[in-house]
Amino acid sequence: MAQWTSAVGAAQLARLLSSQQDRPAGPGTRRPPAYRALADGIRLLVFEGRVPVAARLPAERELALALSVSRTTVAAAYEALRSEGFLESRRGAGSWTAVPAGNPLPARGLEPLPPEALGSVIDLGCAALPAPEPWLTRAVQGALEELPPYAHTHGDYPAGLPALRAMIADRYTARGIPTMPEQIMVTTGAMGAMDAICHLFGGRGERIAVESPSYANILQLMREAGARLVPVAMAEGLTGWDLDRWRQVLREAAPRIAYVVADFHNPTGALADEDQRRRLVDAARSAGTVLVADETMTELWLEPDVEMPPPVCAFDPAGSTVVTVGSASKAFWAGMRIGWVRASPEAIRSLVAARAYADLGTPVLEQLAVNWLFGTDGWEQAVQVRRAQARENRDALVVAVRRELPGWEFEVPRGGLTLWVRAGGLSGSRLAEAGERVGVRVPSGPRFGVDGAFEGYVRLPFTVGGAVAEEAAVRLAAAARVVESGGTTGVEVSRAFVA
């Protein structure tokens, strides 16, 4: 019986491998043999999760033709991977990817490090900050006071607690978009919201248009749902969307869904202006595409003079074209797994009905805690703390990276939680691998793209500041030196520092 659970075609693997661009070798630098470079490239794809574990690889002859190399080169690369534990083979069943015994399975998304690892590794993988206290404690205490009446019920509220649905609707109304509680469904975080939306509107095989780059975990969720992703390049710098490209994709590809982050885009930090929002909604309406607007970063403006454009749903208040996703996780705390969807009442009813076969509902206590925050001045005060913390972290990280890695390029966003960095011609995948060895975890650019795009980038979140940001930059510089030299060992960094 075959041991593989999926397959990677020769053309697909060739595209993924071709995206791995390294800086050209300098004078005196020895290039590895062709078979070694191929083996390293496949190993990196497995580490990144871009080629799954237990994926059947193409036959030697097929891959040799796709790469325009000799079959001997492919055979030697496969043999090297087998000897290192990254490939298993059996006559008649082919060869499939593996990981050596004792190694963790590679993550296909951006999962945070376990708490026990934080003492030795600086985690720049997860764009989330510690809870703003004392507001978390006060919110939980307020929720406990409101809990007794709910404890006498079954506790299942598939659409969310009525009080919280009404509170969220009132907040949209206060922003100038009249909203009824019937237009709101409370979910288990923004990921829960997106999962429900993808399954309702975008069945297996449906096209979904996405910004390029886009949020890695959402891209992976869509892949797992069987969607066909259609990337749409962002405009240059932090100027938002390229509307000509969006109109072309919506007209020619006719995607069922389009997913966008208008406010401090993850990962670039771009902020779409009012005209872009209006025009994109009009284009989506004309194409019959459901436009999903992710608002999880909306309240994280970091400069006092930032003028926030109207929400995307302001140009479709009935919610027939625009489905809005919000969350408490970025603005407040990632551990507060409360999200919501704003859409037409008909869409909300369909989402609620479909939810009965998923998670049934969202934890009552956490809903009550968010309701307490929204109903008092606790939310705004907590978000002010979050903005100040993110701004200080951003400024410290910018100074440290510019000092330690002057060849890296980025624009400083005026909000959000992330820097999108061009890594001086180095491979983001190789930087991520080297970073693991020197004590800094950083996600590479291809996690945020489709089919290997953005190999020359990394994403740096504003999750650390002060001395931690400085040490993170030092370790990133050490990782860059490893990649530049083509080395794999002998890296010396400070281990006296505890993250």
Mean pLDDT (whole number) for 131-160: 94
Binning pLDDT at 50, 70 and 90, where does residue 315 land? very high
**Residue 428 burial (CB count, 10 A):** 29
Cis before 267? omega within 30: yes
93 touches 46 (CB < 8 A): no
113 pLDDT tier (thresholds 50, 70, 90): low
For 13-49, the DSSP string reads: HHHHHHT---PPP-TTPPPPPHHHHHHHHHHHHHHHT
Split at pLDDT 50, 70, 90, the class of 48 is low
Q: Among 76-80, 153-157, 466-470, which is the least confidently predicted range? A: 153-157
Is the peptide bond preceding residue 100 cis, with omega within 30 degrees of 0? no
d(CA 264, CA 279): 18
Average pLDDT over residues 410-419: 96
How many angstroms separate the CA atoms of 174 and 184, rounded? 15
Predicted confidence at residue 499, as pLDDT, reads 26
What is the C-alpha separation between 310 and 281, in angstroms, rounded?
A: 13
Return contacts of 420-423, CB within 8 angstroms, 24+ apart.
420/213, 420/267, 420/268, 420/269, 420/457, 420/459, 421/457, 421/458, 421/459, 421/460, 422/456, 422/457, 423/456, 423/457, 423/458, 423/480
In the numeric block, which tokens belong to residue 371? 């309701």
429 class by beta-carbon count within 10 Å (0-12 exposed, 13-18 middle, 19+ buried): buried
Strand-pair partners of 135: none
Local confidence band at 3 (pLDDT 50, 70, 90 cut-offs): low
Per-residue pLDDT for 57 more than 80?
A: yes
Q: For the residues 72-83, what does the mean pLDDT come to?
A: 94
**Among 96-105, 196-205, 324-333, whose mean pLDDT is lowest?**
96-105
The average pLDDT across 286-312 equals 96
Instruction: Using the structure block, give the residue that is written with the tokens 């791995």.
Output: 20
Amino acid letter, 201: F
- Backbone region of residue 167 per phi and psi (left: phi > 0; alpha: psi in -120 to 50; beta: other values): alpha
Give the pLDDT mean for 201-205.
85
| Res 374: pLDDT | 97
For residues 485 and 491, the model is more confident at: 485
Query: Would strands 457-461 and 418-422 be described as parallel, antiparallel, or unpaired?
Result: antiparallel
pLDDT at 119: 65
Residue 23 scores a pLDDT above 50:
no
Mind listing the pLDDT tens digit for each residue in 213-231?
Answer: 999 999 999 988 899 999 9
Find out whether 10 and 63 touch, Cβ atoms under 8 Å: yes
Decide: 81 and 192 in contact? Cβ < 8 Å: no
Higher pLDDT, 498 or 414: 414
Confidence of residue 20 (pLDDT cuts 50, 70, 90): low
Q: What is the mean pLDDT of residues 60-82?
A: 94
Query: Is the per-residue pLDDT at 130 higher than 60?
Result: yes
Q: What is the DSSP string of 332-370?
A: T-TTS--EEEE--HHHHHHHHHHHTTTT----HHHHHHH
H or E element that contains 219: helix 216-224
From residue 284, how far is each of 250, 339, 345, 380 by CA, in Å? Answer: 7, 24, 19, 33
Question: What pLDDT was estimated at residue 204?
Answer: 85
pLDDT over 70 at 490, yes or no: no
Q: Give the three-state DSSP class for 387.
A: helix
In this prediction, residue 321 carries a pLDDT of: 97
Please list the helix, strand and coil fractions of the chain in percent, rounded to the nearest 5, in that order.
45, 15, 45
Predicted confidence band at 339 (pLDDT cuts at 50, 70, 90)? very high
The pairing of beta strand 257-260 with beta strand 207-212: parallel
Q: Where does 99-176 have alpha helices with state H?
A: 135-146, 148-151, 162-174
pLDDT at 136 over 50: yes
For residue 30, the model assigns a pLDDT of: 64
Terminal Cα-to-Cα distance of the chain (whole angstroms): 46
Q: What pLDDT was estimated at residue 17?
A: 87
* Nearest partner of 54 among 16, 12, 7, 101, judged by Cα: 7
The angle formed by the CA atoms of residues 126, 474 and 265, to the nearest 5 degrees, is 35
pLDDT bracket for residue 208 (50, 70, 90): very high
Pairing between β-strand 322-327 and β-strand 290-294 as defined by DSSP bridges: parallel
Q: Which residue has the higher pLDDT, 183 or 30?
A: 183
Share of the chain above pLDDT 90, in %: 68
Please give the model's pTM, rounded to 2 decimal places.
0.82
Taking each helix axis as running N to C, give the angle between helix 60-67 and helix 10-18, from 0 to 180 degrees, rounded to the nearest 10: 50
Q: What is the pLDDT of residue 175?
A: 95
Please provide the average confidence, as pLDDT, over all residues in the chain.
88
Which pLDDT score is estimated for 359? 80
- The pLDDT score that the predictor gives to residue 118 is 57
Residue 4: strand, helix, or coil: coil
Segment 280-306 mean pLDDT: 96
